[in-house]
Structure 1
């Protein structure tokens, strides 16, 4: 019975050794594949592939790793060795995923009794369009040898463990080992939920667990500092901009009496002032109710319709279709910055989505919902969960201009009045961004 339990415990450890070796090799070569994908972007557009072929040959000679680049039609453009057959099952599967713009899947575990190479592929992308793929055929002999050594060590440890069971130390050892791991698991869940100040104790543990605890604490500290730097950057930027903007407004306000052009500049200064105010709020609390209330409710539908008058002209100038959907009156907190929210949503829809773009205001129970829908490529399920995070941008849109703060500001504005932002894929494709804010019951339509 003891032997069976020991074997059962060793199976996941053996799988971890094989999976870890595979993941380490994959990640190390993924960086090289990303570099080749970057270097191949210009040659795939210009057709000048001589330097790219030379880089591939040098890389092959240095790392004993064949590399080749294909275009979107799977034609081999540059390779470090001849005889590449893209129709091979492993290459064909990898190219299907890469040329479709999907994220690469984790490779299978490496075991000593297997053979073959690992395929690492990355798309060559320009302005969101896939031009081709860079592919590495990575030898796995050394990694499999490493797995073999790890399995032998595991077998030795298994025999030692069985001997330890015989002399009656299983229970205290198990309790000693699992307690810190359980604490580390709980701490990891706390960090995942946003408690970046979570730390684990590292005293009185095995050296390996101490190192693991120290690594976890260092990771949590780095995450906390990164979040703090983001907040400090936004706060400092808004603070530094406020004084010169105020001074500029005073000077331009004086000039506006003499020049019509200055009046337009004054309008732009006021808009910059509102942006600075939004950045300042973004750097502060995200909790709802962090505003000074007013007794008069704001009709969200009416405010949206008034703002859409200008946006219809903007969309028409760019030959984009803007559809005004159903507009149901509904009272919301007057502190809600409707113009700023709508500006962000319509600007994002025009840049990252596809026409037609439809705007509507509806009621849903105790909420009033401002909805903006486009008919673009939309977002994957993982990306939908990250919408509204500061400085986050979808992988498909990182080549386009932007800061990743627009939807974060929208989420902050909604939170100030007790609202929220929801992103979802609609039927028929595209993306819907909903700003849901509490309905003021006593609003008089």
Structure 2
């Protein structure tokens, strides 16, 4: 619509520019033609046309405009150049009108695509009797160039006006129309970050957008309720398990004095207690740094790993598996990081799903301390690597083996509690590397 209105306004403006330029040229040359008609009156009566021919030549040289004078019989009596054909269509029309005592009509507007000269004729009159006509053949190249420049300026002005209208009116309207979709996009990003209580407004919107907003809100509510039920289930299960586990531990502690076998049962009870604790923490930690407020001294990750590896070396040796302790670079991390739980999951997975040798190392990478566990098994495909750490996810190669798919999810949750993350990658030479990357505490004194 804006473009149509601009075109409608441009057409008369373009015609005005061309008509005005043409009229200005016609009037200025008409004055010159009138002067020649006055000067030709006496020579046409006397027949002495030498001076008249000289005037025509001088005018032609000065203004680059050919001039000629004809008598009433259309014979050329004086001209600034030879070869004048009075029967040319434009000249014939002008002479017919002029020799009949009428002023010729104004020529058409000079648009850039039109060519040719402008014919300006004036009658030579004496006492009301027409003696002949003075005719100028006016070049129009400069006038057409002026019109072209004016049209280009007009076009530029129209483009600027359309741009200003688009920026000033259309763009705000577009923003207003798309605002509901932007709100929906922002809400979707909030949902993906874990803010499941995010909702979008559906008031005062188009019916289609209102239905889309209602559907989004229903989806978000379902996700929120599912997450709440999951938390409640894990919390209730953890609470219900703590009491019988505590009671069982008390009884087994008494039996452990009488039977060495009971000590193994006591170890399993402790392991169940740690599992319950991890499940409870997994359900409650949805954002990084949730438990990160602590006044305790930083924990040396390398030292904590070496201490835990003492027991695991015996476990691996009993299964005839090689456990290699690699580089151990000291690095302070948040004291609440559950290093034992993380290392237990990674080494248990490596022993079940990987192949020896299994290498454990602690290094620094910029502002992070990296705990790496590498095995030499089959590894994972590129798609599976992206899913490592998702709850209840298991690789297609390992689904027949015992497990719940929660081990690496617990590791990821533990790392996230202190602002860390878990990464998986295929190393050179095959196998799989699981990296737990946690922030380095700068003021740690090794």
What is the TM-score with the length of structure 2 in the denominator?
A: 0.55
Q: Deviations over 1:74-118 (max 9, x none)?
A: 999999999999999999999999999999999999999999999
* Cα contact 2:316–2:322 (8 A) shared by 1: yes
Shift of 1:18: 52
| Larger mean Cα displacement after TM superposition, 132-141 or 153-162 | 132-141
Shift of 1:176: 7.4
- CA pair 195-416 structure 1, distance change in 2 beyond 3 A: closer
- CA pair 257-318 structure 1, distance change in 2 beyond 3 A: closer
- CA pair 393-126 structure 1, distance change in 2 beyond 3 A: farther
Shift of 1:390: 2.9
Shift of 1:310: 3.4
Shift of 1:277: 1.7
Q: Deviations over 1:25-72 (max 9, x none)?
A: 999999999999999999999999999999999999999999999999
Shift of 1:278: 1.8
Shift of 1:344: 0.3
- Between structure 1 and structure 2, the one with the greater Rg is 2
Shift of 1:377: 4.0
2:303 match: 302
| Larger mean Cα displacement after TM superposition, 83-92 or 338-347 | 83-92
Aligned length: 445
* Partner SS state of residue 261, structure 2: helix
In structure 2, what is the Cα distance between the partners aligned to 1:2 and 1:356? 73
Shift of 1:159: 28
| Larger mean Cα displacement after TM superposition, 166-175 or 130-139 | 130-139
- CA pair 443-149 structure 1, distance change in 2 beyond 3 A: same
| Larger mean Cα displacement after TM superposition, 65-74 or 427-436 | 65-74
| Larger mean Cα displacement after TM superposition, 135-144 or 226-235 | 135-144
Shift of 1:246: 0.7
* Cα contact 1:128–1:396 (8 A) shared by 2: no
In structure 1, what is the Cα distance between the partners aligned to 2:46 and 2:321? 31
- CA pair 159-364 structure 1, distance change in 2 beyond 3 A: closer
Q: Deviations over 1:264-291 (max 9, x none)?
A: 2222212221222222222223555516
- CA pair 310-167 structure 1, distance change in 2 beyond 3 A: closer
- CA pair 426-106 structure 1, distance change in 2 beyond 3 A: farther
Q: Deviations over 1:373-399 (max 9, x none)?
A: 123343445544443233333455444
Shift of 1:12: 38
Shift of 1:331: 4.0
| Larger mean Cα displacement after TM superposition, 265-274 or 15-24 | 15-24
Does the alignment pair 1:390 with 2:391? yes
Shift of 1:244: 0.7
* Partner SS state of residue 374, structure 2: strand
1:284 match: 284
* Partner SS state of residue 369, structure 1: strand
| Larger mean Cα displacement after TM superposition, 377-386 or 364-373 | 377-386
Shift of 1:342: 1.0
Shift of 1:293: 4.0
| Larger mean Cα displacement after TM superposition, 35-44 or 152-161 | 35-44
* Cα contact 1:126–1:399 (8 A) shared by 2: no
Q: Deviations over 1:224-280 (max 9, x none)?
A: 222222222222221111111111111111222222222222222122212222222
- CA pair 298-167 structure 1, distance change in 2 beyond 3 A: closer
* Cα contact 2:288–2:418 (8 A) shared by 1: yes
* Cα contact 1:388–1:408 (8 A) shared by 2: yes
In structure 1, what is the Cα distance between the partners aligned to 2:130 and 2:263? 45
In structure 2, what is the Cα distance between the partners aligned to 1:38 and 1:149? 36
- CA pair 50-417 structure 1, distance change in 2 beyond 3 A: farther
- Aligned CA RMSD, in angstroms, stands at 34.3
* Cα contact 2:29–2:120 (8 A) shared by 1: yes
* Cα contact 1:418–1:437 (8 A) shared by 2: yes
- Any gaps of 5 or more consecutive residues in structure 1? none
- CA pair 163-311 structure 1, distance change in 2 beyond 3 A: closer
Shift of 1:120: 84
| Larger mean Cα displacement after TM superposition, 179-188 or 127-136 | 127-136
* Cα contact 1:294–1:333 (8 A) shared by 2: no
What is the TM-score with the length of structure 1 in the denominator?
A: 0.55
Q: Any residues of structure 2 matched to 1:316-395 within 5 Å, and which?
A: 316-395=317-396
* Partner SS state of residue 372, structure 2: strand
| Larger mean Cα displacement after TM superposition, 222-231 or 160-169 | 160-169
